[in-house]
Amino acid sequence: MTSDALLNEGHDKPIVCGGCELLCEDLTTQSIESGTRCALADNWFAHGELQPESMIDGKNAPLTKAIDMAAQRLLSSRRPLITGLVSTTIDTIQIACTLAERIHAAIDANASETSILTAPPAIRVGDVTADFEELRDRADLAIFWGCDPIADSPRFIERFIQPVPHNGVRRTISIGPTPALPPSSHDLHFPVAGNQLVSLARIVQAQVEQKATNRPSGALESIADQLKKSIDTAHCIGLISTITEQTGLVSWSLSHLIRSLAHQKPCFGIRLNAGTTAGGGNCAGASTVCTWRFGSPGAIPYASIKGSAFFPAEADVQRLIERNEVDCMLIIGRMPSRIKDLLTTSTNPKAVVHVSDTFPFLQRKNSIQLGCASLSHSTEGGMLRSDGRLISLQPFATSQQPSIQKVLNGLLDQVAVETRRRSTP
């Protein structure tokens, strides 16, 4: 039954899960209460009942006072960084970008594309992609390229691979250490080590372009031959991958292969981000807003509305923290596990201002927590799925806490007041 039907019949409200970049919009309050069968979704909805207190250095404080102190610390900072973002809505990210401009902050949403050493393949090769539903409805061959969608986006296969495409039957091929689906006559698995994915893509591309390869025939060539045969018989091909390796070479080689195939027949790439480490489902929204505001998707060392430099693998969250190039962090939304780990292991403690509905990070000193309404239960706005589709969130529970947008707007106002105060002799 569709979400609309459920609404019409008055059974339950359709609810969007922001736990990963699938932004599943077919959940209901009923399914949330009884368990969603998705660990990321269960984790996303686990914090709905909290009424987070605002705190300054580990002590409870009124929100207004905490906002006032947060503005002072951000403006006193020599090198502030704004991050988080991916568990919040697009309008929240817009406010965050305005804050970044006002306090001259670095900004990075902790998305994998900004930590790639060789910059996103879109710059060097391009990117041929499609909406997930195009994969679901059109692709009669889905190739999982070195990825594990079960771990990264648990419901991807259920929602976009298992439904029957319009032209009848879908075959799948898993390339990598583990199969995406249990092997069968329609679901093949070719075990390929992670360090061979680039070579395999290059061999298949050469075959597609009918160019000779100088490599001796071996196991990889045999797999390439079988892949090529499957590709030849397919009408529309979707290649699914996850950005996990920081060299960017797998993405680079795959983008080349997809491009060659797409010249000959309908073919597109589907890129999933690793939901478990990203900390929320709106990586694409954060990248998109940062791009229209600053010209770069993240890894921005200094936010400027006129256009900012893009330093992938240099001004991303991980590198900035590791190199101790930030002294104050404004974390907006839920704390991604990766950032928590980085802060925990950092040799040089940073001041932290965290705006969220939950505070798992237990730093006491130099820490301000600004509590807001539940991001999963009480938020209204839009998020972008990783294929770029806008998904609307509607609140399904009331909260006595202010919304995250309201808290951030309060911080923005206070930054303006404090800036004026400091510039007045």
Partner 1 sequence: MTDVSPHSSLSPFHEPFVLAGGTIHDPKNGLDGIVTDIWVESGRIVCSPSNIKRFRHIDATGLIVMPGGIDLHSHVAGPKVNTGRLMSPQLGTHCRSHNQPSAIPTIHSTGSLYASLGYTTVFDAAIATGAASLAAMELNDLPILDKGFYLLAADNTELLDALEAGQPDVIERCISSIVRTGSGWGVKVANPGGAAFWKDSRGDHHDLDTPLPGRTLTSRTILERLALGVQAAALPHPLHIHTSHLGLPGNWRTLFETMQTLDGVPAHLAHVQFHSYTGGDLDPDSFGSGVSKLVDCFHENKNLTLDVGQILFGDTVAMTGDPEAAEHLAHTTGVPWSAHDLWLEGGCGVLPIEYKEKNLIHSWQWAIGLEWFLSVNDPWRVVLSTDHPNGAHFTAYPILMQLLGDEAFRRDAFRRIHPAVQKHSPLASLSREYSIQELCIITRAAPAKIAGLPQKGHLGVGADADITLYRPNHQLAEMFAMPAAVYKSGRLVNENGHCRCLPAGQHLRALHAQ
- Can you give the binding site for partner 1, defined by CB under 8 A? 90-91, 94, 119-120, 122-134, 137-138, 259, 262-266, 268, 288, 291-297, 305-307, 309-310, 382, 384, 388-390
Among 160, 107, 98, 117, which Cα is nearest to 326's? 107
If the CB atoms of residues 108 and 134 are measured against partner 1, the closer one turns out to be: 134
- Closest distance between partner 1 and the C-beta of residue 51, in Å? 30
**DSSP per-residue letters across 14-27:** EE---SSTT----E
Q: How far apart are CA 272 and CA 156, in angstroms?
A: 9
Nearest CA among 320, 321, 300 for reference residue 311? 300
In a 10 Å sphere around its CB, with 0-12 CB exposed, 13-18 middle and 19+ buried, how is residue 3 labelled?
Answer: middle
Smallest distance from partner 1 to CB 129, Å: 5
Nearer to partner 1, 46 or 390 (CB): 390
Give 18 or 179: the residue with its C-beta nearer to partner 1: 18
Residue 46: CB minimum distance to partner 1, A? 29
Q: Closer to partner 1 at the Cβ: 60 or 264?
A: 264
CA separation for the pair 288, 383 (Å, rounded) = 10
Name residues whose C-beta falls within 8 Å of residue 83's C-beta, 6 or more positions apart in sequence: 107, 108, 109, 110, 317, 329, 330, 331, 332, 339
Q: CB-wise, 70 or 107, nearer to partner 1?
A: 107
Nearer to partner 1, 12 or 131 (CB): 131
Task: Supply the minimum distance, in Å, between the C-beta of residue 44 and partner 1.
Answer: 22
Distance, in Å, from the CA atom of 205 to the CA atom of 209, rounded to the nearest integer, reads 6
In angstroms, what is the minimal distance from the CB of 218 to partner 1?
A: 30
* Distance in angstroms (rounded) separating the CA atoms of residues 370 and 186: 51
User: Phi/psi of residue 53, each to 5°?
Assistant: -85, 150
d(CA 76, CA 225): 61
Task: State the nearest-atom distance from the C-beta of 232 to partner 1, in Å.
Answer: 15
Q: Least distance to partner 1 from the beta carbon of 110, Å?
A: 17
CB 217: neighbour CB atoms within 10 A? 10
In the complex with partner 1, the residue whose CB is nearer, 155 or 350, is 155
